[in-house]
């Protein structure tokens, strides 16, 4: 695990595999960069003159110091135009640089933070963004029998220009470290094969989080689920040999504060059930518990950060499998709320289990609810691989969640929730049916959940577009992204009293 910390030192005197400096489009070298340029006999200036380095965002250039300086290499990290700097650009630039550092097997690296414009981004925001970008980019899920592709980077020191800057920067580094490690924890849960990350295994992970930070954790089994009347969760679980679990994590930080409910879809494998998916459609479905992973990982961070607020995390966990005992199209389910549901398609299982979990969170006293779920292919079609879709019953809360996402570096887009979409899931036989056809599929799915939420302020986050990265880029590896972990944490911190 990469260790990030802030120190006060002369960066040119540190014996490290590399010293990173920020490079800005169209700006002269200043501070540490100017000193390096002098030590290297003007080599940096020449690279710029020759057009070999431009300082564009994402550009990474390795310069070998050939004994002219104590650090073995200088790594120029392009960040674009200085006046356009923001935290996400820093995360991405550092992410790119960290991937290069790993490619050339660096272990111990420093970064001169006087090379960032001090007046455009606060010391703590900068520390946070650097820590997040580095730790997120240093993640790989590897199960190869040799270690050849494993990240080599072990330590990153942010070298502050003054003793005074150390404390502020380090505050951001600490927060960023918690945020990024929680995200990587969620990534591990999502990347783990479904045959390993079963509902029982997921519950064990939640218990481990609770033990680490003194949270209360309750894990309920299939008998409890049946007895209390969670008929929707039970129905989805019936086709599987893996017993379901209903997982609850309580964080109690302040008696007099509100209780936020975080709910995550925990389908540990979605085959589609009797409405079976294609082989291709099933491939990423070990990740159909990415919402659950976001909740459990956010609770891990919240347990460490100890904000003055209360949070209940609820995870309905089950497989969705076809078998002789599986639930069937045409079935009519009685949900935990008492409302009945006509099953049109067994592959629309996520909204079923969320309905029961959200009603549970409400009964436990949650005064607002955020849910994250890999809910619909339709959201992928609508938003592509960039934005998470936000749906809700409270415009201000939707905007608040979008703002938290922006600070966290997780883009979220608000989707329309006009009443007319509700008509598409009217059932002839039950209170509601579980699909409304392909048009507007992400919205009708949200409306289905909303039916169980009632008046409690609520935002549903459809992470089907963003839970998985098809390619490696900036601080993403191929596979799980850990999306919504940082937004959840950011939101909870912002609500802390």
Interface positions with ligand BES (CB under 6 A): 270, 284, 288, 345, 347-350, 374-378, 435, 441, 464
Residue 34 · residue 4 · CB < 8 Å: no
Q: Rounded distance, CA 235 to CA 254, Å?
A: 37
Minimal distance in Å, beta carbon 333 to ligand BES? 16
The answer for residues whose C-beta is within 8 angstroms of residue 360's C-beta and 6 or more apart is 230, 246, 248, 314, 336
Joined together, the tokens standing for residue 347 give 């592959």
Minimal distance in Å, beta carbon 330 to Mn ion? 17
Neighbours of 274 (CB within 10 A): 19
CB nearer Mn ion, residue 270 or residue 462: 270
CB nearer Zn ion, residue 277 or residue 403: 277
Which residue among 207, 277, 403, 495 is the active-site one?
Answer: 277
Q: Rounded distance, CA 187 to CA 177, Å?
A: 15
Contacts with Zn ion by CB under 5 A lie at: 267, 270, 288, 350
Is the Cα dihedral 9, 11, 15, 21 positive or negative?
positive
**What strands, in cross-sheet order, belong to the sheet with 332-334?**
332-334, 340-342, 432-433
Q: CA distances (Å), 156 to each of 14, 15, 122, 358, 495, in order?
A: 12, 13, 19, 41, 31
CB nearer ligand BES, residue 151 or residue 479: 479
E-assigned strand segments in 343-411: 368-373, 388-392
CB nearer Mn ion, residue 157 or residue 349: 349
292 CB burial (10 A radius; 0-12, 13-18, 19+): buried
Residue 61 · residue 141 · CB < 8 Å: no
Minimal distance in Å, beta carbon 270 to Zn ion? 4
Residue tagged 């009293």 (tokens): 497
Of 224, 206, 223, the C-alpha closest to 215 is 206
Minimal distance in Å, beta carbon 381 to Zn ion? 16
Residue 462 binds Mn ion, judged by CB under 5 A: no
CB nearer ligand BES, residue 86 or residue 431: 431
Residue tagged 């001169």 (tokens): 112
Binding mask 211-250 for Mn ion (x = CB under 5 A): ----------------------------------------
Which residue among 35, 351, 362, 433 is the active-site one?
Answer: 351
229 CB burial (10 A radius; 0-12, 13-18, 19+): middle
CA 316, distance to chain mean position in Å, is: 19
435 makes contact, choosing from ligand BES, Zn ion, Mn ion, none, with CB < 5 to 8 Å by partner type, with: ligand BES
Q: What are phi and psi of 263, to 5 degrees?
A: -125, 135
Joined together, the tokens standing for residue 409 give 């570096």
Residue 257 · residue 160 · CB < 8 Å: no
Minimal distance in Å, beta carbon 124 to Zn ion? 39
Assess whether 277 carries a catalytic annotation: yes
R_g over Cα of the chain? 24
Residue 476 · residue 291 · CB < 8 Å: no
Q: Where in 71-130 is the site for Mn ion (CB under 5 A)?
A: none
CB nearer ligand BES, residue 244 or residue 350: 350
Minimal distance in Å, beta carbon 389 to ligand BES? 12
331 makes contact, choosing from Mn ion, ligand BES, Zn ion, none, with CB < 5 to 8 Å by partner type, with: none
Minimal distance in Å, beta carbon 83 to Zn ion? 44
Minimal distance in Å, beta carbon 345 to ligand BES? 4
CB nearer Zn ion, residue 159 or residue 289: 289
Q: Rounded distance, CA 279 to CA 459, Å?
A: 32
CB nearer ligand BES, residue 357 or residue 375: 375
Candidates 194-202, 263-271, 331-339, 471-479; binding stretch for Mn ion (CB under 5 A): 263-271
Residue 220 · residue 173 · CB < 8 Å: no
Q: Where in 311-370 is the site for Mn ion (CB under 5 A)?
A: 347, 349
Of 239, 217, 218, 238, the C-alpha closest to 226 is 238
Residue 270 binds Mn ion, judged by CB under 5 A: yes
Is the Cα dihedral 241, 201, 303, 285 positive or negative?
negative
- Bridge pairing between strands 73-78 and 3-8: unpaired
CB nearer ligand BES, residue 11 or residue 350: 350
Q: Rounded distance, CA 72 to CA 16, Å?
A: 6
Minimal distance in Å, beta carbon 264 to ligand BES? 13
Task: Report, as residue numbers or ranges, the catalytic residues.
Answer: 277, 351
Please report, as ranges, the residues that interact with Mn ion according to CB under 5 A: 270, 347, 349
């Amino acid at each position: 695990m990469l260790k990030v910390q802030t120190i006060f030192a002369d960066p040119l005197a540190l014996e490290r595999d590399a010293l990173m400096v920020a490079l800005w489009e169209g700006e002269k070298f200043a501070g540490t960069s100017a000193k390096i340029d002098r030590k290297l006999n003007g080599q940096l200036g020449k690279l710029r003159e020759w057009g070999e380095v431009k300082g564009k965002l994402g550009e990474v250039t390795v310069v070998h110091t050939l004994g002219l300086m104590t650090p073995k290499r200088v790594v120029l990290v392009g960040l674009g135009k200085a006046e356009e700097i923001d935290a996400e650009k820093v995360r991405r630039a550092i992410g790119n640089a960290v991937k290069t550092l790993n490619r050339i097997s660096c272990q111990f690296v420093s970064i001169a933070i006087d090379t960032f414009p001090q007046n455009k981004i606060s010391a703590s925001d900068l520390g946070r963004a650097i820590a997040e970008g580095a730790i997120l980019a240093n993640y790989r899920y590897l199960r190869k029998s040799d270690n050849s592709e494993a990240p080599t980077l072990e330590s990153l020191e942010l070298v502050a220009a003054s003793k005074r800057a150390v404390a502020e920067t380090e505050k951001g580094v600490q927060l960023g470290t918690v945020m990024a490690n929680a995200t990587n924890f969620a990534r591990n849960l999502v990347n783990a094969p479904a045959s390993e990350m079963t509902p029982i295994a997921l519950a064990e992970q939640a218990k481990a989080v609770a033990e680490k930070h003194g949270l209360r954790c309750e894990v309920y089994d299939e008998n409890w689920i049946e007895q209390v009347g969670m008929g929707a969760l039970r129905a989805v679980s019936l086709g599987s040999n893996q017993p379901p679990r209903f997982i609850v994590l309580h964080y109690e930080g302040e008696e007099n504060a509100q209780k936020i409910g975080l709910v995550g879809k925990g389908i540990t494998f979605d085959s589609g059930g009797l409405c079976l998916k294609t082989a291709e459609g099933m491939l990423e479905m070990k990740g159909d518990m990415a919402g659950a992973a976001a909740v459990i990982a956010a609770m891990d961070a919240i347990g460490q950060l100890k904000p003055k607020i209360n949070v209940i995390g609820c995870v309905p966990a089950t497989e969705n499998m076809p078998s002789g005992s599986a639930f069937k199209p045409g079935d009519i389910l009685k949900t935990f709320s008492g409302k009945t549901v006509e099953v049109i398609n067994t592959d629309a299982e996520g909204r079923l289990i969320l309905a029961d979990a959200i009603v549970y969170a409400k009964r436990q006293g949650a005064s607002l609810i955020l849910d994250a779920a890999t809910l619909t292919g339709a959201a992928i079609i609508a938003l592509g691989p960039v934005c998470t879709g936000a749906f809700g019953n409270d415009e201000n809360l939707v905007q608040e969640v979008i703002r938290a996402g922006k600070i966290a570096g997780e883009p979220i887009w608000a989707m329309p929730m006009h009443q007319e979409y509700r008509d598409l899931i009217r059932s002839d036989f039950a209170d509601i049916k579980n699909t409304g056809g392909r048009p507007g599929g992400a919205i009708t799915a949200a409306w289905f959940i909303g039916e169980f939420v009632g008046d409690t302020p609520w935002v549903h986050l459809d992470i089907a577009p963003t839970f998985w990265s098809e390619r490696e880029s900036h601080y993403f590896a191929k596979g799980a992204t850990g999306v919504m972990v940082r937004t959840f944490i950011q939101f909870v911190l912002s609500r802390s009293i």
